A and B are shown apart, each in its own frame.
Chain A
Amino acid sequence: MSLWLAVLVACALAFGTKLAGFLVPHHWLEGERMRRVTGLLPVALLSSLVVVQAIGGPGGSLVADARIVAVAVAVVALLLRAPFILVVALGAATAALLRSLGWP
């Protein structure tokens, strides 16, 4: 699948999901359990993405490099209630600094 096609299909599905909320009958998503599962879905996916981005290496390996230190710094920044953009910048700066010092 070409990258452009993937981009456009994903965009269409994102829009379709939003629009569905305006069009479907209310009772479709009223189930208590269904509501809990959909509410928890972002937490599960984002947690997984943190792991993949922090320690995922080439070919399914798990590696500890500058990224994991960057994540630790980001968590400290979040504990100190830093805004999003600062958290991201601190993460990047940490990894860039460590790599300039010769870390992997």
Chain B
Amino acid sequence: MTSASTQVRRQSLSVGIATGAYGVSFGALGVASGLDVWQTCALSALMFTGGSQFAFVGVIGAGGAGLSAIATATLLGVRNGLYALQVRELLGVRGWRRAVAAQLTIDESTAVGIAQETDPLARQGFWQTGLAVFVFWNAFTLLGAVLGNALGDPRRWGLDAAAAAAFCALLWPRLHSRPTAVTAAVAVVLTVLVVPRAPAGIPVLVAGLAAVLVGWSRPAAPDDDPGVAPEPGPAPRDGER
């Protein structure tokens, strides 16, 4: 095994552990939002995309309808489809392997994959990161869900505030340009306006219009490219070391 390949393996593992570790917070928030342990674990295994999972339990926890939770989670997951467009030539997968590659197509596997200098290393980075995150994310989700169940009243432990902090941390690395900042500001205003006037879950969907307004109206600019936002904080930074 060459040293470059060893380096990619280490990078994949460190991203997997760092990302997987906050599966604990997802597991705890899942049961605090009213899902049972198995529903929480099913989201991590089957949905397997952190932002959408946090959004789903967030909407349910706020008293939103199932349809609102589904719509919010699905809209947040649209970027995974764009990542798939970026990595599919690189991976060159056929047949049933496409389904496996699709399930592992998330922020972290895409970021580590496309950061490599050669195609073989890129493929290795994608698969190893995807698998490492999958294993640790699911193991830590189960741990968090079981712990969260044992804790009792989620408010006493500040778990409702943990959800707000988690969304802040997911949003933070994406605020890297003027259009993203404008979009965030418009979304905040829309949310505050709509919350008192609509059932739970709807304000988040209305706020999605901010992306349409800003994205549609702005002329192309060099800093516009959202690219692959390295979602949950630790991954790319730790990985580069």
Contact = CB atoms under 8 A, between A and B. Distances in A.
Interface of A: 1-15, 17-24, 26, 29, 32-33, 35-54, 56, 58, 60-62, 66-67, 70-71, 73-75, 78, 81-85, 87-97, 99
Contact of B22 (A1, A88, A99): A88
What's the dominant secondary structure at chain B's contact region?
A: helix
Contacts of B4: none
A36 to B, nearest CB: 4
Nearest to A82: B233
Contact of A21 (B80, B163, B226): B80
Which of B55, B78, B85, B188 has the most CB atoms of chain A within a 10 A radius of its CB? B78
What's the dominant secondary structure at chain A's contact region?
A: helix
Nearest to B172: A78
A40 B22 CA distance: 24
B43 A7 contact: yes
A33 B208 CA distance: 15
A22 B49 contact: no
B222 to A, nearest CB: 13
Interface of B: 18, 21-22, 24-25, 34-35, 39, 42-43, 46-49, 51-52, 54-56, 58, 60, 62-63, 65-67, 69-70, 72-85, 88, 93, 98-99, 101-103, 105, 155-172, 174-175, 179-180, 183-188, 190-192, 195-200, 203-204, 206-212, 214-216, 218, 220, 224-227, 229, 232-234, 237-238
Which of A33, A56, A82 has the most CB atoms of chain B within a 10 A radius of its CB? A56
Given A7-B43, A15-B103, A17-B80, A91 B98 contact: no
Contact of A46 (B69, B77, B157, B174): B174
Given A3-B34, A91-B162, A92-B157, 10 more contacts: A37-B212, A41-B78, A44-B208, A46-B174, A54-B161, A61-B196, A78-B168, A88-B165, A89-B25, A96-B156
B167 A50 contact: yes
A3 B168 contact: no
